[in-house]
Amino acid sequence: MTALTLSTAAAPGLRADAIVVGVAKGANGPVVAPGAEAVDKAYGGSLAGVLETLGAAGAEGEVTKLPAPAGFKAPLVVAVGLGAEPEKDSGYGAEALRKAAGAAARTLAGAKKAAFALPVLDASDVGAIGEGVLLGAYSFDAYKNTAPAKSGDKAKNGKAPLAEAALLGAKPRDKEHKAALERATAVAEELNRARDLINMPPNDLNPEAFAAIAQTAAKEHGLKVQVLDVKALEKGGYGGILGVGAGSASGPRLVKLSYTSGKAKKHLALVGKGITYDSGGISLKPAGHNETMKCDMSGAAAVFAAVVAAARLGLEVNVTGWLALAENMPSGSATRPGDVLRMYSGKTVEVLNTDAEGRLVLADALWAASEEKPDAIVDVATLTGAMMLALGSRTFGIMANDDAFRTAVHEAAEEVGEPAWPMPLPEHLRKGMDSPTADIANMGERMGGGLVAGLFLKEFVGEGIAWAHLDIAGPAYNEGGPFGYTPKGGTGTAVRTLVRLAELTAAGDLG
């Protein structure tokens, strides 16, 4: 992981591989963003002009490299686009800074040290740049023989992530700046850990392995952890989780991770879908629809990361994470379409499609979470292809049993820079899940499939508990090229929203 420092050093004398500066889209061409005055001065005030000559416009995501001015210790200047220049006296905004820092950090793979001379108005900007650097520098190459053992390792041709980033313009002695850096580090490190879990191949990350990783992390961070294995799940009557895991040689698990603060007044429960591989089961997915299905545990990874981050930040709130882990496979012991499962809540479910498995494992975990009567429950799941069709691959859908709570979750997502959008839970879609045999079927109308899944989950939330459901099927896994601070593969979406929700709950501003 990249090491972050706050520095008051001046750019010219800095020993580094590169100096990163911001360039924005001005009314008459690119403009150099504040923070890079010393760099611009060393170019004789012509940096904007030089960048324009090189074809830079200041657009978001744009990266331009140029030789550093004479007299600089660092050999390279990297200019990153910040998008439109803001109105006078207002800042660039956290998300523009996060994205620019991320794009720069990604380009600087292989470098040992870079200084970031981006515009910093306040502590929130420091945090955003820090997060952007740590998230943008991420790469997953644990399975590549070309991966360098460490930064600067020339023996292999892979590039190690940027080793060190100094944030200029931030104040190393300022309490708020230091706190922002610490928060950014904890959140980004845990988010990157969620990405690692998502990217891990499913032959290595099965439910048992995931549970073991959670146990190790719990020990490290002083969390309480409880793992229900197949025997315990059978004893407890967790028919949903067992039914989904029945076809796999790797049995399912329900992991409960508890972070408790002595000063907590509220309790937030987080529930994550953790299908370590979704083949569809007997309702097998066709080729072309299963290559990325290792990502189907992204919800559980996000919950796991958020609980650990809450502990690292010492938030004054109790946070319980429930990881509903199973592998959805076809076999002679697999659940069949037509089987009826008796769920942990006591409800019976007719399984019409074994590929609608996420709602089954979540239903048991939601009911278990509800038994503790938390102030609110938020579940996170790569639940439906329908949500991807509705919102595309960068935005997650938010459903809830309470409009005000849904709005609060949406605002938290916006605040941290995670694209999300509110979706309804129309009651009329419930009758599509009526079953002639059981209390409910696991499938309903095809149209509005994401909302149907949300309505199913709602039936397993305890009376009177505020609940929101995040369907992250779109943004969980980036099949396209990297952008901003988002890499290819597992993205870690929802982690930052969950951490923000825990902070808001601690402050008494939620639930």
> Is residue 128 a contact partner of residue 98, using CB atoms and an 8 Å limit?
yes
Q: Does the annotation place 40 within a ligand binding site?
A: no
355 annotated as ligand-binding:
yes
Nearest residue (CB) to Zn ion, 14 versus 390: 390
- Please identify every residue annotated as catalytic: 285, 359
Angle between helices 358-371 and 449-458 (to 10 degrees): 30
The answer to whether residue 418 forms part of the interface with Zn ion (CB under 5 A) is: no
Q: Is 89 annotated as a binding residue?
A: no
Distance of alpha carbon 312 from alpha carbon 330, whole angstroms: 40
Q: Does 296 bind Zn ion (CB under 5 A)?
A: yes
Residue 316: contacted member of Mn ion, ligand BES, Zn ion, none (CB under 5 to 8 Å, by partner type): none
Binding mask 171-200 for Mn ion (x = CB under 5 A): ------------------------------
Instruction: Collapse the DSSP code of 387 into the 3-class scheme (helix H, G, I; strand E, B; otherwise coil) and give the result.
Output: helix
Residue count, binding to Zn ion (CB under 5 A): 4
Of residues 131 and 357, the one with the C-beta less far from Mn ion: 357
> Which of 475, 487, 500, 309 shows the shortest CA–CA distance to 414?
500
- Give the residue among 54, 55, 32 at the shortest CA–CA distance from 44: 32
User: Which of 236, 385 has the CB closer to ligand BES?
Assistant: 385
Which tokens belong to 187?
């959140």
Residue 471 sits in the site that holds Mn ion (CB under 5 A): no
Closer Cβ to Zn ion, 295 or 413, answer by number: 295
327 near Zn ion (CB under 5 A): no
Please give the distance of CA 128 from its chain centroid, rounded to a whole number: 15
Q: Which of 2/279 has CB closer to ligand BES?
A: 279
Catalog residues that contact ligand BES under the rule CB under 6 A: 278, 296, 353, 355-358, 382-386, 388, 443, 449, 473
Q: Which does 39 bind (CB under 5 to 8 A by kind): ligand BES, Mn ion, Zn ion, none?
A: none
Does 375 appear as a known binding residue?
A: no
Burial of 37 (0-12, 13-18, 19+ CB in 10 A): middle
Smallest distance, ligand BES to C-beta of residue 485, A: 21
Decide if residue 492 touches Zn ion (CB under 5 A): no
Is residue 79 packed enough to be buried (19+ CB in 10 Å), middle (13-18) or exposed (0-12)?
A: buried
Nearer to Zn ion, 267 or 294 (CB): 294
Would strands 396-400 and 420-422 be described as parallel, antiparallel, or unpaired?
Answer: parallel
The gap from C-alpha 301 to its chain's centroid, in whole angstroms, comes to: 8
- Using CB under 5 A as the binding rule, the residues of this chain from 256 to 315 that contact Mn ion are 278
- Counting contacts by CB under 5 A, is residue 327 touching Mn ion? no
DSSP conformation letters of 402-462? SHHHHHHHHHHHHHHT--EEE----GGGGGGG--SSSSEES---STTHHHHHHHHHHTTSP
Q: How far is the CB of 359 from ligand BES (least distance, A)?
A: 8
Phi, psi of 281 (to 5 degrees): 75, -150
Q: Is there a contact between 132 and 182 (Cβ–Cβ < 8 Å)?
A: no
For residue 355, state whether it binds Mn ion (rule: CB under 5 A).
yes
- Dist CA 131 CA 150 (whole Å): 22
- Residue number with the shortest CB distance to Zn ion? 278
Residue 273 counted as an annotated binding residue: yes
Query: Minimum distance between the CB of residue 476 and ligand BES, rounded to whole angstroms?
Result: 6
Query: 323 — phi, psi (to 5°)?
Result: -105, 110
Q: How far is the CB of 246 from ligand BES (least distance, A)?
A: 16
